[in-house]
C-alpha cells in the first residue's frame, strides 16, 4: 500500500527533476542563443565598420583617380607643348639654313609634306610618315657651314668651290649626328645622302641603288621637283609637264624607279600640296640669282647640289 502511495511521489520527483533538467537545458539554450545573438551583433557591427571603411577607401580612391586624371591631362598637355616646341625648333633650324640660300621657308615645308606622302604611298608605317615630315626639311641644314662667299658667290664657281659646297651633306650630317631622337637620326641620314644618285654618280659617297637609304632617295626626287616648279625672284616656275618630263628622264639614273613611279602616280596630290603651301613673301637675298653667278658652267659636271643645279637650269630655260 505504502509503495503504491510512494510511487506517484517518486514519479513526481522524477518529473520535477526532468522539468528542472528541461529548465536548465532551456537556460543553457537561452544563454547560447544570447551568445549567438551577441556574436551576430558583433559581426554585424564589424561588418558595418568594414563597410564604412570600404566606403571611405572607395571615396579616397575616387579622389586619387580624379587627381590622377588631372595629372595625366596636365602631363599630356606638357608633353604636347614640349613636342610642339621640339618640332618647331627643328623646323627653325632647317629654316635658318634656308635663309643662307635662295629658298624661302615654304620650300622646306613642301619637301616635308611631299616626302611624307610618298612614304605613305610606298606603304611604310605611319610612324615613318610622321617622322619624315619633320626630318626631310633639314636636308640642307649643312649649308649653315658653307662660307657665304662661296655659297652666295655671284660668279662662276671654281671646281674647288663646288667641292666645298658638296660638303654641306657631311656638315649637315655632323650637325644632326649623335642624337637619341629618331627624327634627328633620320634627318642625319637624309642630309648625308640626299645628293646620291641611283646610278652611283652622286655624292658624297657615290652610293648606288638600294645602298642609298630610301628616305634620301625620296627627298632627292621631291627636292628636284620642287626646285623645278618653284618661283624665284629671278625666274618663273618651270611648267609642271616639263618638270615631270625631267623627273621621268631621271628614272633609273638619278632616281629610284619605284619611288619615281609612286611620285608620278600621285602627282595630283603632290600638286594639291603645292597649291596649299604657297610661297611666303621672299625674305632672303633679293636681287641675287644663281644663273648670273654660274652662267656658262656645267653644274652637273661640277657635282653641284641637285637643288642648285635644277634652279639654275630652270632659270636659264625661263629666260
Contact between 101 and Fe ion per CB under 5 A: no
199-228: contacts with Fe ion (CB under 5 A):
223
- Report the interhelical angle of 240-249 vs 267-276 (nearest 10°): 130
Q: Which is nearer to Fe ion, 180 or 260 (CB)?
A: 260
Closest CA to 305 of 199, 229, 196, 184: 196
Which residues, at least 6 apart from 202, have a Cβ–Cβ distance to it below 8 Å? 195, 196, 212, 220, 254
Q: Count residues binding Fe ion (CB under 5 A).
A: 4
CB of 65 to Fe ion, least distance (A): 50
CB of 89 to Fe ion, least distance (A): 20
Q: Is 294 helix (H, G, I), strand (E, B) or coil?
A: helix
Contact between 189 and Fe ion per CB under 5 A: no
Q: Which is nearer to Fe ion, 195 or 251 (CB)?
A: 195
Q: Which is nearer to Fe ion, 100 or 251 (CB)?
A: 100
Among positions 102, 106, 140, 294, the unique one binding Fe ion when judged by CB under 5 A: 140
Residue 218 burial (C-beta neighbours within 10 Å; 0-12, 13-18, 19+): buried
CB of 107 to Fe ion, least distance (A): 6
**Which helix (DSSP H) or strand (DSSP E) does residue 5 occupy?**
helix 2-98
Contact between 305 and Fe ion per CB under 5 A: yes
Binding segment toward Fe ion, per CB under 5 A, in 202-210, 270-278, 279-287, 307-315: 307-315
Binding segment toward Fe ion, per CB under 5 A, in 113-121, 177-185, 289-297, 304-312: 304-312
Contact between 307 and Fe ion per CB under 5 A: yes
Distance CA 313, CA 289 (A): 12
Max intra-chain CA distance, the chain: 163
Binding segment toward Fe ion, per CB under 5 A, in 68-76, 83-91, 132-140, 234-242: 132-140
Q: Which is nearer to Fe ion, 101 or 256 (CB)?
A: 101
DSSP-derived secondary structure letter, 102: S
Contact between 196 and Fe ion per CB under 5 A: no
Distance CA 238, CA 219 (A): 19
C-alpha cell at 140: 640642307
CB of 139 to Fe ion, least distance (A): 6
Binding segment toward Fe ion, per CB under 5 A, in 3-11, 37-45, 136-144, 213-221: 136-144
Residue 237 dihedral angles phi and psi, to the nearest 5°: -65, 145
CB of 145 to Fe ion, least distance (A): 12
CA atoms within 13 A on the CB side of 243: 25
Which residues, at least 6 apart from 152, have a Cβ–Cβ distance to it below 8 Å? 100, 285, 288
Q: Which is nearer to Fe ion, 45 or 200 (CB)?
A: 200
CB of 114 to Fe ion, least distance (A): 11
CB of 169 to Fe ion, least distance (A): 7
Q: Which is nearer to Fe ion, 24 or 303 (CB)?
A: 303
Q: Which is nearer to Fe ion, 256 or 304 (CB)?
A: 304
N-terminal to C-terminal alpha carbon distance within the chain = 160
Neighbours of 250 (CB within 10 A): 19
User: How far are the Cα atoms of 163, 257, 258 from residue 210, in angstroms, in the given order?
Assistant: 25, 11, 11
Q: List contacts with Fe ion (CB under 5 A).
A: 140, 223, 305, 307
Amino acid at each position: 500500500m505504502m509503495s503504491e502511495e510512494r510511487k506517484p511521489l517518486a514519479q513526481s520527483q522524477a518529473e520535477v527533476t526532468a522539468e528542472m533538467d528541461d529548465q536548465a537545458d532551456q537556460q543553457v539554450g537561452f544563454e547560447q542563443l544570447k551568445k549567438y545573438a551577441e556574436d551576430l551583433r558583433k559581426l554585424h557591427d564589424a561588418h558595418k565598420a568594414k563597410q564604412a571603411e570600404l566606403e571611405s577607401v572607395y571615396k579616397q580612391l575616387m579622389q586619387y583617380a580624379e587627381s590622377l586624371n588631372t595629372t595625366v591631362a596636365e602631363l599630356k598637355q606638357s608633353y604636347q607643348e614640349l613636342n610642339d616646341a621640339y618640332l618647331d625648333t627643328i623646323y627653325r633650324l632647317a629654316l635658318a639654313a634656308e635663309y643662307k640660300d635662295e629658298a624661302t621657308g615654304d620650300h622646306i615645308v613642301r619637301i616635308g609634306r611631299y616626302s611624307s606622302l610618298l612614304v605613305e604611298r610606298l606603304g611604310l608605317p605611319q610612324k615613318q610618315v610622321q617622322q619624315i615630315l619633320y626630318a626631310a626639311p633639314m636636308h640642307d641644314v649643312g649649308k649653315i657651314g658653307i662660307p657665304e662667299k662661296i655659297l652666295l658667290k655671284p660668279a662662276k664657281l671654281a671646281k674647288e668651290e663646288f667641292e666645298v659646297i658638296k660638303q654641306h651633306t657631311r656638315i649637315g650630317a655632323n650637325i644632326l649626328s649623335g642624337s637619341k631622337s629618331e627624327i634627328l637620326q633620320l634627318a642625319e641620314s637624309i642630309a648625308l645622302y640626299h645628293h646620291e644618285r641611283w646610278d652611283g654618280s652622286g655624292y658624297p659617297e657615290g652610293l648606288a641603288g638600294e645602298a642609298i637609304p630610301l628616305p634620301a632617295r625620296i627627298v632627292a626626287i621631291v627636292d628636284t621637283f620642287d626646285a623645278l616648279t618653284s618661283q624665284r625672284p629671278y625666274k618663273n616656275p618651270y611648267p609642271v609637264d616639263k618638270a615631270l618630263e625631267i623627273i621621268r628622264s631621271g628614272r633609273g639614273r638619278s632616281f629610284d624607279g619605284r619611288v619615281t613611279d609612286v611620285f608620278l602616280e600621285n602627282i595630283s596630290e603632290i600638286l594639291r600640296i603645292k597649291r596649299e603651301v604657297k610661297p611666303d613673301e621672299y625674305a632672303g637675298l633679293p636681287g641675287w640669282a644663281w644663273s648670273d653667278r654660274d652662267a656658262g658652267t656645267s653644274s652637273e659636271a661640277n657635282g653641284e647640289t641637285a637643288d642648285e643645279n635644277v634652279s639654275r637650269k630652270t632659270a636659264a630655260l625661263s629666260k
